[in-house]
Amino acid sequence: MSVRKLVTSTLTPTGVPVRFMFYDGKPEDTYITFFSYSETASLNSDDEEAMTGTYIQVDLWTKSPEDYGRLETEIKERMKAAGFTRRSQFDQYEQETGIYHKVARFYISIKN
């Protein structure tokens, strides 16, 4: 399974739209976007890449403080259960649009 499919299948049960790179729906909706910001060989064997490490950024966007709190916890739990390690996270608030924005970064190493 590709990392993109793994993230999508891991976060789809949250009940909000999950999209790779960008979301083109209504801006007032709650949604999740994600992308890979780095890929690297995490294990080489006999001059071949045996495992690939992928760093993923997951962005939660919502106008609802209630959804924000619930979903930030659910994202962390679901990603951990799928084998990802959380690397960092931070909060942002988009004043112009009134959107709460959680940025969470994860890492996974997958056998090739």
Predicted confidence at residue 91, as pLDDT, reads: 97
Predicted confidence at residue 57, as pLDDT, reads: 98
Predicted confidence at residue 76, as pLDDT, reads: 97
Predicted confidence at residue 43, as pLDDT, reads: 66
The 10s digit of each residue's pLDDT in 27-85 is 668 999 999 998 887 667 777 877 789 999 999 999 999 999 999 999 999 999 999 99
Q: How many domains does the chain have?
A: 1
The 10s digit of each residue's pLDDT in 79-107 is 999 999 999 999 999 999 899 999 999 99
The CATH number for 22's domain is 3.30.2000.30
Residue 27 structural domain = 3-111
pTM of the entire predicted model: 0.89
- Within 13 Å and on the Cβ side, how many CA atoms surround 72? 18
| Tokens 């679901």, located at residue | 78
Full 3-state SS string of 68-106 = HHHHHHHHHHHHHHCCCEEEEEEEEEECCCCEEEEEEEE
Predicted confidence at residue 3, as pLDDT, reads: 94
In whole angstroms, give the CA distance from residue 15 to residue 56. Answer: 20
Residue 1 banded pLDDT, cuts 50, 70, 90: low
